[in-house]
Amino acid sequence: MGCLFSRRRKPAQGGQLPQQQQEGSGQDAATGEQKAPQYSWDLRAKVDPKDYTFSGLKNETVGRLPGKVAGQQFVIQDCENCKIYIFDHSATITIDDCVNCQIFLGPIKGSVFFRDCKDCKCVVACQQFRTRDCRKLEVFLCCATQPIIESSTGMKFGCFQYYYPELALQFKDAGLSIFNNTWSNIHDFTPVSGENNWGLLPETAVVQDYVPLPSSEELKAVRVSTDAAKSIIPITRGQRQKNSDESCLTVFFAGDYTTANARKLIDEMTSKGFQLVQTKEVLMKAEDAHRVFQQSALEFIPLLEKGPVVALEFNGDGAVEQCQSTVNEVFSGTKVFVSESKASASQDVDNFYNFADMQMGM
């Protein structure tokens, strides 16, 4: 990352500055002296790389409060036994040569890249996740695309679960959907025959046991909760073994309350013991609707023009009947697609998520 430098241009022919460059020039009202002209690039905030770097730290707790990174790129390098918290959205983050650190990274619009790190515990939300030459990283992850590990061993992954008041808006600022999370669909770029370089954290894993709440007075001002029930990201089973051979697909269409409705159904279903397997937010076209919704397609095609749909897969014995009952009871005035029967539901799930994965290039 470089600094932003201002450069003064020569006046236009005849000694006159172009109109847009004359802002701020003229006489000082108090002294009558001619003021130097101000240029638009002089008014930009200067970016100091030191404000977006943690380097060479040992046994420290450091971080950035909401609003302090504001979409810039960030660098973390050569840190040991540190607790690091980035409570803001950023463009990209690289983490190099860090050992035994506990790291929280707020929403990252682009990629996060861990290189030559070991024995670190992390909570990360990003568009792209990649590691190279890393050992023993334990990561609670939200990733919009397929996470990639390369020349890395002892990697463990769980579903991102975190809350503070500014986090939902930071996800929007980073262009990330809370429903697009492929945390467990890991691609190992350098597999070794007969070995597995990665696995999943225990279902009972608690974020706070891995990345504790910040202890410094400054960072305690961020009202963090690691309670799974409060998490901005819905907690999904991902690639874990399903408990039942019955799943149900539910699809909400774009509108003012789509996210709230989806969260409400998740709360209703999980409170009754059903498990949320996966979620997705994606745009659909008419031809996609025919493939996914089959005979019901014509009913839903007009709704697709309003924006992306949010799809949820629930699993558990009786999931279809319970989904239908809850949707009829709670969302009676809203058009929602719900699988018709246990027999058709597994095909509904496959049809939708195969389409969604192709849409997202996975």
Q: What is the pTM of this model?
A: 0.85
Same domain for 267 and 159, yes or no, is no
Same domain for 251 and 165, yes or no, is no
Of 161, 192, 221, the position where a domain reaches its end is: 221
pLDDT score for 104: 98
Q: What is the mean predicted confidence (pLDDT) over 238-256?
A: 94
Examine residue 38 and state whether it is found in any structural domain, yes or no: no
Assigned token pair, 91:
């463009």
Same domain for 211 and 249, yes or no, is no
Residue 86 CA: distances (Å) to CA of 90, 108, 279:
9, 10, 26
Examine residue 24 and state whether it is found in any structural domain, yes or no: no
Residues 6+ apart with CB under 8 A from 344: none
Q: What is the mean predicted confidence (pLDDT) over 340-352?
A: 92
Same domain for 123 and 185, yes or no, is yes
Per the DSSP assignment, residues forming a β-bridge with 27 are 34
**Strand pairing category for 118-132 and 102-115:** parallel
DSSP assignment, residue 133? Answer: S
Examine residue 11 and state whether it is found in any structural domain, yes or no: no
Q: How many Cα neighbours within 13 Å face the side chain of 261?
A: 25
**What's the CATH number where 76 sits?**
2.160.20.70
Residue 360 has pLDDT above 70, yes or no: yes
Examine residue 235 and state whether it is found in any structural domain, yes or no: no
Which residue is associated with the tokens 């070995």? 195
Same domain for 288 and 159, yes or no, is no
pLDDT score for 38: 58
Residues 6+ apart with CB under 8 A from 282: 180, 308, 309, 311, 356, 359, 360
Binding residues are 110-111, 127-130
Binding residues for GTP are 110-111, 127-130
- C-alpha span between 136 and 126 (Å, rounded): 20
21 or 47: which leads in pLDDT: 47
Same domain for 63 and 131, yes or no, is yes
Summarize pLDDT for 91-126 with one digit per residue, the tens.
Answer: 999 999 999 999 999 999 999 999 999 999 999 999
Name the residue type at position 233.
Answer: I
Same domain for 194 and 261, yes or no, is no
Examine residue 357 and state whether it is found in any structural domain, yes or no: yes
Grade residue 33 by pLDDT with cuts at 50, 70 and 90: low
Number of H helices, E strands in the chain: 8, 18
Measured in residues, the chain has a length of 362
Q: What is the 3-state secondary structure (H, E, C) of 261-275?
A: HHHHHHHHHHHCCCE
Summarize pLDDT for 297-342 with one digit per residue, the tens.
Answer: 999 999 999 999 999 999 999 999 999 999 999 998 899 999 999 9
Q: What is the mean predicted confidence (pLDDT) over 356-360?
A: 81
**What's the CATH number where 307 sits?**
3.30.70.141
Grade residue 42 by pLDDT with cuts at 50, 70 and 90: low
pLDDT score for 10: 38
Examine residue 176 and state whether it is found in any structural domain, yes or no: yes
Same domain for 71 and 215, yes or no, is yes
Residue 4 has pLDDT above 90, yes or no: no
- C-alpha span between 362 and 360 (Å, rounded): 6
Residue 36 has pLDDT above 90, yes or no: no
Same domain for 171 and 88, yes or no, is yes
pLDDT score for 19: 43
pLDDT score for 213: 95
Per the DSSP assignment, residues forming a β-bridge with 34 are 27
- The domain of 171 spans 49-221
Residue 24 has pLDDT above 90, yes or no: no
Q: What is the mean predicted confidence (pLDDT) over 184-195?
A: 92
Which residue is associated with the tokens 């002089």? 42
pLDDT score for 321: 97
Of 188, 221, 254, the position where a domain reaches its end is: 221
pLDDT score for 50: 82
- ∠ at Cα 163 (202, 166), nearest 5°? 155
Same domain for 280 and 251, yes or no, is yes
Name the residue type at position 155.
Answer: M
Same domain for 159 and 286, yes or no, is no
Examine residue 213 and state whether it is found in any structural domain, yes or no: yes
What percent of the chain is modeled with pLDDT above 70? 87
Total number of domains constituting the chain: 2
Of 165, 187, 221, the position where a domain reaches its end is: 221
Same domain for 205 and 301, yes or no, is no
Mean predicted lDDT score pLDDT of the chain: 89
- C-alpha span between 140 and 147 (Å, rounded): 12
Q: What is the mean predicted confidence (pLDDT) over 73-81?
A: 97
**Strand pairing category for 309-315 and 247-252:** antiparallel
- Find the helix or strand (DSSP H, E) in which 102 lies: strand 102-115
Assigned token pair, 172:
């929007």
Assigned token pair, 258:
């789509």
pLDDT score for 8: 36
Examine residue 31 and state whether it is found in any structural domain, yes or no: no
